[in-house]
Structure 1
Amino acid sequence: MLATLVIGLREGLEATLIVGIIAAFLKRNRIPMWPMWLGVGVAVFLSVAVGVVLDLVEQALPQAEQEGMEAIIGAVAVVFVTTMIVWMRKHARDLKGDLEAEATAAAGRGTAWALAGMAFLAVLKEGFETSVFLLATFQASSNTGLAALGAVIGVAGAIVIGFGLYTGGVKLNLAKFFTGTGIFLVFVAAGLVMTALRTAHEAGWILVGQQRTVDLSWLAPNGTVLGALITGVLGIQPDPRVIEVLGWFCYLVPVLLLSVWPRAWRPTGARIPRVRLVLAGGLAVAALVLALGVHAPAATAPQNVALANSAGTARAAVTGSRAVLTISGARDARVEFPESAHRMVTRDGVTADRWQTKTPVSTASQKTSLTVDDLVSLFGRIPVGISPDTTPGPYTARWSESATTTLWTVGGGVLDTRRTTATVLTISGGGLTTSRTYTMAETPWSVPAGRVQASATSILSATSAATELRVWNAWLPIALGIAALWQAALALRDRRRASHALSTPPTPLPTPTPDGQNVEQGEPARSSTYAVQ
């Protein structure tokens, strides 16, 4: 409720202040006011409609899409409130004079509709920002009813104060008012950053940086006033994640410094480009340090793997989409896998390169005539379909044998490998009316299943750690690099402006009269503390 009250009060006061200044100007110059009020009414209607439509669209979406839209609305709200704070910080002292200068220019075009359009655009801007900001705050609030009540109270208070300024019954130091409320809204917006990052994760957009940092359940217990203040107003979650804490600090620190930095300490003139260039250099150095200094563990399988039943060790040499498998030990072997044998597969939850090749095996050493005793020695029993009484043999044997070798690698290391031989025996004669076919399979070598599972678990852990570290060695350096380029561009712009200002002769300043009127332009003296009259 407190957050929405301050939002409604501040944004509403901005809008009523603008309308009051324009109304006072119209009254003083005897220009009809009804076009202005029409523009204000249309702007208010459209602002409310924007908030209602966004809420209805969100409610109609599936759960994941709802979370995604909440993240987008939160991000837009943060951008709006930041630009609002920065703009008002810069223009609060000169707001009245600037608006009256624009109103004079509009009146000079000879129509009240120009002033109505000015009021319409000003109120529409404030109203649209308020709708989006309040909607994002409602989504982050634990009690929507109280949040709505706070917004209504804030807007009503803004109207009362604005009317008091218009009639002259209220005098307000706008610079201090907007600075104080701006500081509070910086914390609210930082909380919206955390909320937007969480909803983006729930929408499946941000999967990195989800490790828990600290337990703040003691600071923001559910169902308490303090919990409502910390979580509902400031947006701080009881279980903040790494990406959320990082986003909170990256937003709060620079924007808060911008809001409270004394004007007397601000650089001026030729020092501004230098300060921006120094800041750009610092951001660029920080980006390079993070990108080069934070290393993720390699997600690879071991280079040498012991095979089951003391069959030796396996080692792979991977070159692009080709591989060579070398078996050393009791069953020495070397298998070359062509590019056509390569596939990307998932093995025990791990994405791996797989090669598989099938080769025929010579059967020249196999017997071409078998007895019943030979069949028993092969199969360990009399095969199905063979009877020593009716089909005593001997039988004519035809053999077909092939070997399939499979290799799975991750990062060039061996995750798993095995060779499986398939022998097909076809016998006929010896009393058989039809031929009989039998298939025998054998695995000469393989990696033990426990070893494969252990390697897969280690690779998954390293992959997860590398994904989480991407926040520090990729995402944050990119953000810092963009900020450095932005500051460098602003420095070049400021330098060009300074050069242009030096090459342009200065315009003599008008001398104000004792009654506060400008001798040359007839403009009232500007002040940050005033009543709108």
Structure 2
Amino acid sequence: MWEQVLFIVWRESVEAILIVGIVYAWLRQADSRIGLRYLWLGVLAGLGLAGIVGAALMQADSWLQGDSQDIFQATMVLIACALIVQMVLWMRVHARHLKRELHEGLENAVQQTRFWGIAVLVAIAVAREGSETVVFLYGMGMAQLQMGGLWSFVSAAASGFGLALVTFFLMQLGSRVFSWKWFFRITETLLLLLACSLLISGVEKLMGLGALPTGMDPLWDTSAWLDDSAGVGGLLATFAGYRAWPAETMVIAFGLYWVTVLGLLSWQKRRQQRLQVAAQGGV
């Protein structure tokens, strides 16, 4: 579980730090001290909004009891899965032009002396990444916290943030050391695998509550070749949803997930190609 927490905090923190770093560098180059003040105001506001989301989730969880609480937690795991897929699809479209889009927004704000626009721009970006992180960690962490793993949970989150700072620093040294393109490519794949793992965990929890049928259980047993409790099998269970004794419903969910994700990626690629052809034809 701690590997999932570390990875999510690392990936989401890198995105947030990247956005803040781009805005900071632009404002420093423009020698806009007032803009820098609004930048940090936006960062604080974004963190505050993410904190409110976290507090709301914890409050909602405390109101619920028994099966209702378990269903709520399982639902949040499934929501986290959907958010990860949505985030990957969004980044595949916007990552390439993120810097340019941010610069255009900053130029408009500074030209019109609307420095609050800078704060809002940064606050939305930070709140988006922070809120997603809160939902992801809530979905992954509640079971661990209930088992007394608070220190492991906090340590993994802190390590993920520290690793994000190191990653951002390395990326600033140039493409010879680290490549943004490969960073997004590799982490996109890992995120989609992690989303599948969350989906399987959510389905597994709903089956345990009787909210979903199990079908044939288990459908097969591969524990003799690859145990899902330790080693490579345990890593695959954490990051890809592997189960040595899967129920039929879990296998169906696994298959539907990848059919849907691959279909969305293919549709998105075709759509981008059509847009590029249309743009070239209009030039």
1:93 aligns with 2:96: yes
Give distance in 1, aligned partners of 2:222 and 2:64. Answer: 32
1:4 aligns with 2:5: yes
CA RMSD of the aligned region, Å? 3.1
Q: Which residue of 2 aligns with 1:15?
A: 16
Deviation at 1:181, TM superposition (A): 0.8
Give distance in 1, aligned partners of 2:253 and 2:243. Answer: 13
Greater Cα radius of gyration, structure 1 or 2: 1
Q: Which residue of 2 aligns with 1:220?
A: 227
User: Quick one: which of 160, 172, 181 aligns to 1:175?
Assistant: 181
Q: What secondary structure is seen at the aligned counterpart in 1 of 2:282?
A: coil
Q: Which residue of 2 aligns with 1:30?
A: 31
**Structure 2 CA distance for partners of 1:215 and 1:55, relative to 1, 3 Å:** farther
1:123 aligns with 2:126: yes
Deviation at 1:232, TM superposition (A): 3.7
Q: Which residue of 2 aligns with 1:146?
A: 152
More off after superposition, 152-161 vs 9-18: 152-161
**Structure 2 CA distance for partners of 1:179 and 1:29, relative to 1, 3 Å:** same
**Structure 2 CA distance for partners of 1:21 and 1:149, relative to 1, 3 Å:** same
Give distance in 1, aligned partners of 2:94 and 2:21. Answer: 17
Deviation at 1:42, TM superposition (A): 2.3
Q: What secondary structure is seen at the aligned counterpart in 1 of 2:96?
A: coil
Give distance in 1, aligned partners of 2:252 and 2:6. Answer: 28
Q: Which residue of 2 aligns with 1:229?
A: 235
Give distance in 1, aligned partners of 2:213 and 2:263. Answer: 30
1:255 aligns with 2:258: no
Q: What secondary structure is seen at the aligned counterpart in 1 of 2:48?
A: helix
Deviation at 1:23, TM superposition (A): 0.8
**Structure 2 CA distance for partners of 1:102 and 1:66, relative to 1, 3 Å:** same
Q: Which residue of 2 aligns with 1:200?
A: 206
Q: Which residue of 2 aligns with 1:244?
A: 250
Give distance in 2, aligned partners of 1:216 and 1:58. Answer: 36
Task: Check whether the contact 2:214–2:247 (CA below 8 A) recurs between aligned residues.
Answer: no
**Structure 2 CA distance for partners of 1:178 and 1:196, relative to 1, 3 Å:** same
Q: What secondary structure is seen at the aligned counterpart in 2 of 1:94?
A: helix
Task: Check whether the contact 1:220–1:231 (CA below 8 A) recurs between aligned residues.
Answer: no
- What TM-score do the two structures reach when normalised by structure 1? 0.46
1:43 aligns with 2:46: yes
Task: Check whether the contact 1:183–1:256 (CA below 8 A) recurs between aligned residues.
Answer: no
- What TM-score do the two structures reach when normalised by structure 2? 0.82
* Unaligned ranges ≥5, structure 1: 273-493, 508-533
Task: Check whether the contact 1:37–1:116 (CA below 8 A) recurs between aligned residues.
Answer: yes
Give distance in 2, aligned partners of 1:151 and 1:66. Answer: 24
Deviation at 1:26, TM superposition (A): 1.1
Task: Check whether the contact 2:10–2:161 (CA below 8 A) recurs between aligned residues.
Answer: yes
Question: How many aligned positions are there?
Answer: 273
Give distance in 2, aligned partners of 1:66 and 1:191. Answer: 21
Give distance in 2, aligned partners of 1:139 and 1:116. Answer: 33
**Structure 2 CA distance for partners of 1:189 and 1:25, relative to 1, 3 Å:** same
User: Quick one: which of 119, 135, 138 aligns to 2:138?
Assistant: 135
| Per-residue Cα deviation, 1:175-210 (whole angstroms, up to 9, x for no partner) | 210110111111111011111112223344323636
| Per-residue Cα deviation, 1:43-93 (whole angstroms, up to 9, x for no partner) | 113313423441343244222112211121012111110111111122222
1:506 aligns with 2:271: no
Q: What secondary structure is seen at the aligned counterpart in 1 of 2:220?
A: coil
Give distance in 1, aligned partners of 2:108 and 2:31. Answer: 16
Deviation at 1:4, TM superposition (A): 1.9
| Per-residue Cα deviation, 1:22-45 (whole angstroms, up to 9, x for no partner) | 111111112221221122122113
Task: Check whether the contact 1:36–1:119 (CA below 8 A) recurs between aligned residues.
Answer: yes
**Structure ranking higher in strand proportion:** 1
**Structure 2 CA distance for partners of 1:163 and 1:39, relative to 1, 3 Å:** farther
Task: Check whether the contact 1:194–1:244 (CA below 8 A) recurs between aligned residues.
Answer: yes
Q: Which residue of 2 aligns with 1:335?
A: none
Task: Check whether the contact 1:9–1:157 (CA below 8 A) recurs between aligned residues.
Answer: yes
**Structure 2 CA distance for partners of 1:107 and 1:86, relative to 1, 3 Å:** same
User: Quick one: which of 102, 107, 112 aligns to 2:105?
Assistant: 102
Structure 1 letter corresponding to 2:4: A
**Structure ranking higher in helix proportion:** 2
**Structure 2 CA distance for partners of 1:110 and 1:40, relative to 1, 3 Å:** same
User: Quick one: which of 94, 111, 115 aligns to 2:114?
Assistant: 111
> Percent identity at matched positions?
27
1:185 aligns with 2:191: yes
* Unaligned ranges ≥5, structure 2: none
Deviation at 1:160, TM superposition (A): 3.4
Structure 2 letter corresponding to 1:241: A
Give distance in 1, aligned partners of 2:114 and 2:169. Answer: 25
Deviation at 1:221, TM superposition (A): 5.3
Give distance in 1, aligned partners of 2:245 and 2:228. Answer: 11
